[in-house]
Amino acid sequence: MRNLVALLALLTVVTTGCSSLDGTGDKGFISQDGAVTQIPAADRGEAIDVTGEDLDGKQISFADLRGGVVVVNVWGAWCTPCRVEQPDLNEAAEQTAGAAEFVGLNIRDASVDNARAFVRTNEVPYPSIYDPDSKALLDFSAVHPVRSPPTTFVLDREGRVAAVVSGRLPSVGTLVTLVEDVDNESRGTTGG
């Protein structure tokens, strides 16, 4: 029942993100402000168990990534803020190499070719799960509602959502600091 309620909520969010709601103009997405939400370890829910095929048809399972910090960026090739923030994501992935794995979650692209073109053009250095119907978002939306892309999640070593950036990243440093904080907490250290 929980999954059905989450699916209905997600479908409402995803379809309204494409509508002509006030504030969307003709962009096809709801602008978000890049707000950062950090979730204390004691308040984190269950691990995210997303499995899907990347843009080349290879399986990706978040369960296989447990034991390390994972950054998940929800994006679409049609999303202007996603294109704008991609250089920052690329730089953050480079700066946190060894501390975090990055995975994209491509939603609402009708064609995998569009998603591949985005990855090629923006030199995205990490894989993305192709999720045109946004089903993989259900686990994430149960923890933190996704109004529209871009949205970036930082998962702790247990695969639980530790932080969320709703909207375009405010800066490379913001994401690097979030990764370092989650990496340090799992090592029992502080600072970053």
109 to 37, 55, 65, 120, 134: CA distances (angstroms)? 27, 11, 25, 15, 10
The verdict on residue 16 lying in a domain is yes
Least confident stretch, 47-51, 102-106, 109-113, 135-139: 135-139
Q: What is the pLDDT of residue 156?
A: 97
Whether residue 69 is predicted with pLDDT greater than 90 in this model: the reply is yes
- Which residues constitute the domain of residue 15? 2-20+29-187
Q: Is the pLDDT of residue 191 over 60?
A: no
pLDDT score of 14 more than 80: no
Q: Is residue 143 very low, low, confident or very high in pLDDT (cuts 50, 70, 90)?
A: confident
Whether residue 133 contacts residue 11, with contact meaning beta carbons closer than 8 Å, is answered with no
> What pLDDT does 34 receive?
84
Domain-located, residue 118: yes
> Taking residues 158-184, what's their average pLDDT?
96
Count Cα atoms within 13 angstroms, Cβ side, for 31.
8
Q: Answer whether residue 97 is part of any domain.
A: yes
Mean pLDDT of 108-116: 95
pLDDT tens-digit series, residues 74-99: 999 999 999 999 999 999 999 999 99
Helix (H, G, I), strand (E, B) or coil at 104: strand
pLDDT for position 80: 95
Quick one: average pLDDT of 27-38? 67
Which band of pLDDT confidence, cut at 50, 70 and 90, is reported for residue 190?
low
Asked if residue 163 is part of any domain, the answer here is yes
Measured over the CA atoms of residue 62, residue 115, residue 166 and residue 144, the dihedral's sign is negative
Residue 59 counted as domain residue: yes
DSSP string, 131-151: ETT-TTHHHHHHHS---SS-E
Question: For residue 25, how many other CB atoms are within 10 A of its CB?
Answer: 10
Q: Which of 1-15, 49-63, 109-123 has the lowest mean pLDDT?
A: 1-15
Task: Indicate if the pLDDT at residue 134 is higher than 50.
Answer: yes
Joined together, the tokens standing for residue 169 give 């990243």
- Asked whether residue 45 is assigned to any structural domain, the reply reads yes
Q: Is 175 among the domain residues? A: yes
Nearest to 128 by CA among 47, 66, 53: 53
Residue 108 sits in a domain whose CATH number is 3.40.30.10
Domain count, the chain: 1
pTM of the predicted structure, to 2 decimals? 0.82
Cβ distance 65 to 72 under 8 Å?
no
Establish if 192 belongs to a structural domain.
no
